[in-house]
Each structure stands twice: as C-alpha cells, then as structure tokens.
Amino acid sequence: MFTSQSSFYGLAMLEARVERLEHALALSFSTMQTLAERLQSKFGDEFLGSDLKLLVATDTQAESAATFEILDRLIGEGQQPAAARLFRDKFGVTWDEAHFFVDRWGIHSGKEKIRWLRLMHCIRALESR
C-alpha cells in the first residue's frame, strides 16, 4: 500500500528523472544543431538534407532567451491573454496548452523555461518537414 509519503517520494524521483531527460534532450538538440552548422559551413547547403537544413534554421539560444524575455514581460504586466497568443502563434500549440503554460510560468526557473522554449522550437521545426 502506498502512503502519501511514499507517493510524494515517488513523484519527486519521477520529476528528477524527467528533468534529467529534458536536459539530455536539450544537449542532444544543441549538439546536432552544432554539427549540422559545421557540416553546412564545410560542405555547403547542398550537402545537408531537408531535416538538417531545418535543424540549422531553428531557434538559437539567444532567440529563445528573447522569447523568454517577451513572455516574462507580458506575464509580469498581467497580460496573460497576449502571452498565451504569442506562445500559441510561436509554437503552434492549442489555446489550452498555451494557457496551461502561461498559468504555470512563475513555478519554474528562467533556465528551465529557456530550455523548454528551445526544445519546442527544435521539435516544431522538425515536425514541420
């Protein structure tokens, strides 16, 4: 039988594992993007297939940080509907997903949010092919 303490411990362990997986995925995307950029500079655009071209064209860390700053400002000013619209337009999520993200904006660190924004840009770019 699970007690509330054991389920809390299990949830904490799951959260830590998910965070490590997110970090590993972010590192993987970053590494793939760097490799694709180096291949492009050495061999030219023709060398890259459509998937790698999409990866090279995806959002950079600086662009994710800029998106973070805009969202953070809008939410800080109480403009949640505008932040949700921006989030929806930029990442192609549903209104429910955009509002879910905006409603929980203050729970996570800036570093986590920037990592998630960058992952979302990479995933969206690869899904658009």
Q: Which domain holds residue 55?
A: 4-127
What pTM did the predictor assign?
0.68
Domain count along the chain? 1
pLDDT digits (tens, 9 = 90+) for 12-59: 788 888 888 888 888 888 888 888 889 888 998 888 887 777 777 776
pLDDT at position 9 over 80:
no
CB atoms within 10 A of CB 74: 20
Where do the H-state alpha helices sit in the chain? 4-43, 50-57, 61-76, 80-91, 95-103, 110-127
pLDDT for the residue numbered 6? 65
